[in-house]
Structure 1
Amino acid sequence: MLSLVGAAAALAQPALVARVIDVVGTDEPLLPLVSVLVVVLVGSAVLSAWQQYLLQRTAEGVVLSTRRTLADRLLRLPVVEYDRRRTGDLMSRVGADTTLLRATVTSGIVDLGGSVLVGVGALVAMALVDGWLLLVTVLSVSVGVGTAVAAARRVRVLSRQAQEQVGAMSAAVERALSAVRTIRASGATAREVTLVGDSAQGAYRAGVRVARLQALVSPASSIAVQGAFLAVLGLGGYRVAQGSIEVSQLVAFILYLFLLIQPLGQGIRAYTELQSGLGALARVQEVLDLTPEDDDRPQLGSATTSPRVPVAGDPTPLLELVDVDFGYPDGTGVLHGISFSVPAGTRTALVGPSGAGKSTLLALIEGFYPLSGGEIRWAGTDVRELPQAAVRARVGYVEQEAPVLAGTVRENLLLAAPDTPEDELWRALAEVGLTGIVERSERGLDVLVGDDGVLLSGGERQRLAIARSLLARPALLLLDEPTASLDARNETLLRETLTRAAADRALLVVAHRLSTVLDSDQIVVLDAGRVVGAGTHAELVETNPLYRELARAQLLA
């Protein structure tokens, strides 16, 4: 609306100027006409400022909405998508790509509409003044406009390529920063700087290609404008001398020409910005088109699909795997016909050599990857028929790397159970022997853990992750090498904690250190993605050669 009013005010100015020229030298009062002209000029400036503010505010709103939507989709993607893509490139889409949308709004769509309106109005007014001058103007301008539009069309492709190079550079920086200590210790800093520099060089070259093409737009527009102006001056002066038009009409036509030139330049620039924005939008849309998790699952809250939690002694196992197969998209098979069950209130251990598929099995139970075959059943129901969020709410998972989020100890503990009282937080820390890290700081539970928990030791990170999972009170707790980074004292403390935890929940533990799982109710032995044995420690030592070999290597048989 402001654009329409502003266009009307702009179109009125040349007519008012022509009227002032006609009045000069006559007996008609000049002051009222000049006053109207001043009001129109000031009003047009005020409307323009207001419009620009609204445009900028709207553009920021568009960027905010897009970033929220994009972040929501990124955090809900299937885990397999994170395996396929680089984290830095995904971050670039949230940052750099969405920023280009701001220019699309402020210099694109709205300006393009206003420019067309003013341009059409100026052409109509010029036609009413003199048709021959209009013909010369159109011929002169068409050449420049055609060249500019042809160049702008190519900008979209090059702009997307440039954004992809920026994403690659962001990925290279993220890769280096995430492993900066390893890089320093390996003496590879200079090589990594070179790699990041090469990525930056690629982004530079792509940006230069866009700049080179955009640079064609301005000269083409300038040549068209200057040619039109000179042609109008020459032909207009001749027609004034012949008496075909008045001087005031020529002045008005030239003002309309200037009025046409400004929106013409804005329109070309807006079209170019729009093409750049569409290139960035394509990268954003590529992520938004990916299907998030849970889309095909039953809705949470349905009485027929809410996961049941069996109690200890229930004949239906809490978790059951039936002929589970899994392979990567490239066809590499990982798991083959895995079958075993985890009754409620029991401890089950997964053991076997490295690469047997133990950690992969936990990831499948968490629903991070789709099965290639078979079923995973929760209380007798295929988990694919249950709401994924509801199943995960009943399963705790402590990964082998034990990730800790940047922030405080309190924030990490409250991640899965945000309403937990403070006394329970302290109790959970005591159960895993971790009260020391909060007691030695004046900040208590609000002590910082650093990015990725860098201010904690490996064992402290692992125990913090276990305490975090215990606070969520899961019916099934998945532990991947829970004692890998612990000393003998803390390993004993953690084993006692897990023994108490197993009283009211089931545990499924991946372990290389067999001493931590000797008292398990069931030990499942995996080798090359297959179950090769199951039973207690004593039974397996007698009947299973692979387990006996593992036990002897650790002086346990």
Structure 2
Amino acid sequence: MPEAAPAPGAPPHPVAGQEPGGPRVLLPHLRGFAGRLIAVMVLSLVTVVGALAQPLVIRMVVDALADSEPIKGLVAALVALVLGVAAVNAVRDFWLQRVAEGAVRAVRTRLTAHLLRLPVAEYDLRRSGDLLSRVSADTTLLRNVLTTGVFDLVTGAVTVLGAAVVMALLDPLLLAAAGLGLGLGMLCSLIAARWIRPLSERAQARLGEMTSEVERAVSAARTIRAAGAEERESRAIADRARLAYEAGVRVARVRAAVSPLSMLGTQGAFLLVLGVGGARVASGAIGVGDLIAFVLYVFYLVSPLTQAVNAYVQVQTGLGAASRIGEILAIPAEDLHGRGPAPDRAVRTPANGAAAEGADGAPAAVEFDAVSFDYGAGPVLDEVSFTAPHGGVTAIVGPSGAGKSTLLALVERFYDPRSGTIRADGVDVTELSRSQLRSKLAYVEQEAPVLAGTIRDNLLLATPDATREELLAVLDTVNLRGLAERTSKGLDAEVGDAGVRLSGGERQRLALARALLTDAPILLLDEPTSQLDANNEAALRDAIAAVSRQRTLLVVAHRLSTVADADQILVLDSGRVVGQGRHHDLARENAAYHELAARQLLVT
């Protein structure tokens, strides 16, 4: 695996709140819901009009009673109006929830797709638990932005405007009295709510940190149990949970202040309306029906204003989550189809202007030409040059930290070198798109990852059209046929999370079988036998020898017995090639290789 984390030339990370986040992060995913949103808006306007009409009907009922007129028709109309508004509200809320769920789904789909396409350097810099938190917890908060957030702000504003117009027609003086009390309360509430977004953003970050700690502990549960470290790890998670709790309490403290401030404004408005309205009725300026209608309109005015304040609070909370999502979406994805080197890369051209050739005159399968690379903390590879001809095995050996795994990562273009040129089939890899380059390569990582699912799922990852016979044949090649015959499920047997139901050697061989199943002409194998017993190592060595007749293999190995028969062996030390040749020649002539071989009892 790479010897250090930060990669050179990693894209700058946006600062939370400065990236293209906020409501704009939802807009691309709302375009497909335009028709439903318009329908929801129309239904909302219908409910607003129906709600505003109710006090007027009640006023008519009161006036009719005062004049001893029949009220059956008015009461029936009022009941129908109330029931109609309730029914339309139910339909509107359902459609709005569907739109919100669809938008959240779209954001999750886009975010997940983007996460899988981030440059590899970003995974070195970030914890997987935090990324998972953005996909799950942060996207969930966006639902509130749509339902009790932005939409409530819009519908609340329309309701307030309509109520204010009718109240102005009833009595402008009473409207001014109500507006004074409500305005002061709402202003104080909005000032307090402005603190919620940054506090919510910090709370979500703390939740992401806690999720990372949980993910770390669960993924290493056996190691922690064997080390007797359960209490220590539990305390570490509890500390992160405490920080998340404290951040959540800070948000709750501000949110708790919003409602009382809003309530004070509401109570003040009612007292003013009752006081001023009572005096107006006593003076004969307005009638009792007018006052009752006005009081009901104050209710209608208070409700959307309170709703708007709460919606503003929800929006601020959701925008904190949106900023975290926007931070990830703002990172440029790895360009699979573009060509060209990294901007800061120095390219070296061979003196003769051509790529190196093999003994048969064909370009080398893989060529490193004065390649240097670092992760930002000192050189990892320094002026490395070699060629791997078509067919055969090129082994890469050396002490830990010499840069062996990094060399394979550069072939895959997980990173670009600081200087020098890497060629595949005589072509600078930067002149190929990453998808073109990787179609030539099959890569087995040092950790030999196995994905949760079945044996078949893992084998079909890179070759989805392979037949059952091909799957069984490749399992035979790596001496793993028995794995498919262990249970009645055969190839559909579950391997567990990260292959937990398999032994280390079985995971390694399954990953190798997945690579062998592809038609890639170049195989990159990082420690393919590190977890195998002697019998399986011998079988795998025979398989590698057979495969190398048709393909080119670059094999990183600590166990020299695995690669003693390699066509050529590169000896890396401190990022430099200090030896190149075959096993017997290097054992005699190269001190670094002789020392490695002597420690493994291959030479005396």
Report the residue type matching 1:169 in the other structure. M
Cα pair distance change 1:83/1:512, threshold 3 Å = same
Contact 2:561 2:602 in 1 (8 A): yes
Paired letter, 1:410:
R
1:433 matched to 2:479? The reply is yes
- With a CA cutoff of 8 Å and minimum separation of 6, indicate the structure with the bigger relative contact order: 2
Query: For residues 598 and 272 of structure 2, what CA distance do their matches in structure 1 show?
Result: 98
* Paired amino acid for 2:510: L
Pair 1:296–1:461, CA change in 2 (3 A): closer
Q: Structure 2 stretches of 5 or more lacking a match?
A: 1-41, 341-356
The equivalent position to 1:374 in structure 2, one of 398, 420, 438, is 420
Amino acid paired to 1:261: V
The one of 24, 33, 39 equivalent to 2:65 is: 24
2:336–2:435: 8 Å Cα contact kept in structure 1? no
Deviates more, 1:393-402 or 1:273-282: 393-402
Task: Please tell me whether the aligned partners of residues 337 and 433 of structure 2 are also in contact (alpha carbons under 8 angstroms).
Answer: no
Pairing partner for 1:84 from 125, 130, 146: 125
In the alignment, is the contact (CA less than 8 A) between 1:313 and 1:344 conserved in 2? no
Over 3 Å counting, the alpha-carbon distance change for 1:24 and 1:61 in structure 2 is same
**Contact 2:177–2:269 (CA<8 Å) still a contact in 1?**
yes
2:444 aligned with 1:398, yes or no? yes
Q: Give the Cα separation in 1 of the matches to 2:506 and 2:320.
A: 46
- Whether the 8 Å CA contact 2:390–2:552 is kept in 1: the answer is yes
Q: For residues 337-376 of structure 1, what are the structure 2 equivalents within 5 Å? A: 337-376=383-422
Equivalent residues of 2:358, 2:364 under 8 A apart: no
| Partner Cα separation in structure 1 for residue 277 and residue 509 of structure 2 | 87
User: Percent of aligned pairs with the same residue?
Assistant: 52
Give TM-score, length-normalised by structure 1.
Answer: 0.96
> Structure 1: any 5+ residue segments left out of the alignment?
300-309
Secondary structure of the residue aligned to 2:279 is helix
Residue type matched to 2:369 in 1? V
Task: For 1:69 and 1:13, locate their aligned partners in 2 and report how far apart those are by CA, in whole Å.
Answer: 45
Kept after mapping to 2: 8 A contact 1:312/1:344:
no
Distance 1:32 1:141, change over 3 A: same
The 3-state SS of whatever aligns with 1:291 is: coil
User: 3-state SS of the aligned residue for 2:195?
Assistant: helix
Aligned-partner Cα distance in 2 for 1:516–1:295: 34
Distance 1:275 1:445 in 2: 50
Q: CA deviation at 1:121?
A: 0.9
- Residues 267-346 of structure 1: pairs in structure 2 closer than 5 A: 267-294=308-335, 297-298=338-339, 313=360, 315-329=362-376, 331-346=377-392
What SS does the corresponding residue of 1:171 show, helix, strand or coil? helix
Would you say the 8 A contact 1:119–1:264 is kept in 2?
A: yes
Residue 413 of structure 1 is matched in structure 2 by 459
1:550 deviation in Å? 2.0
Q: How many pairs were matched up?
A: 546
The letter of the residue matching 2:179 is V
Match of 1:307 in 2: none
For structure 1, which segment, 420-429 or 21-30, has the greater mean C-alpha deviation from structure 2 after superposition?
21-30
Q: CA deviation at 1:313?
A: 4.2
Is 1:130 matched with 2:174? no
Once the two structures are superposed, what CA deviation does each residue of 1:312-357 show, in whole Å capped at 9, x if it has no partner? 945211111111111113x321110111111111210101112111
What residue is the counterpart of 1:228 in the other structure?
A: 269
Worse-superposed segment, 22-31 or 174-183: 22-31
CA distance in 2, matches of 1:278, 1:180: 35
8 Å CA contact retained: 1:314, 1:344: no
Q: Does 1:72 align with 2:121?
A: no
* Residue identity opposite 1:389 in structure 2: S
Taking a change above 3 Å as real, the CA distance of residues 254 and 186 of structure 1, as seen in their structure-2 partners, is same
The TM-score with structure 2 as length reference comes to 0.88
CA gap of 1:493–1:312, structure 2 versus 1, over 3 A, is farther
**SS of match in other structure, 1:356:** coil
Whether the 8 Å CA contact 2:337–2:435 is kept in 1: the answer is no
Letter paired with 1:550: L
Query: Does the CA-based 8 Å contact 2:366-2:389 persist in structure 1?
Result: yes
Equivalent residue, structure 2, for 1:54: 95
* Residue of structure 2 in register with 1:525 after alignment: 571
* 1:465 match: 511
The answer to whether 1:493 aligns with 2:539 is yes
Instruction: Give the Å deviation of 1:441.
Output: 1.0
What RMSD, in angstroms, separates the aligned Cα atoms of the two structures?
Answer: 1.6
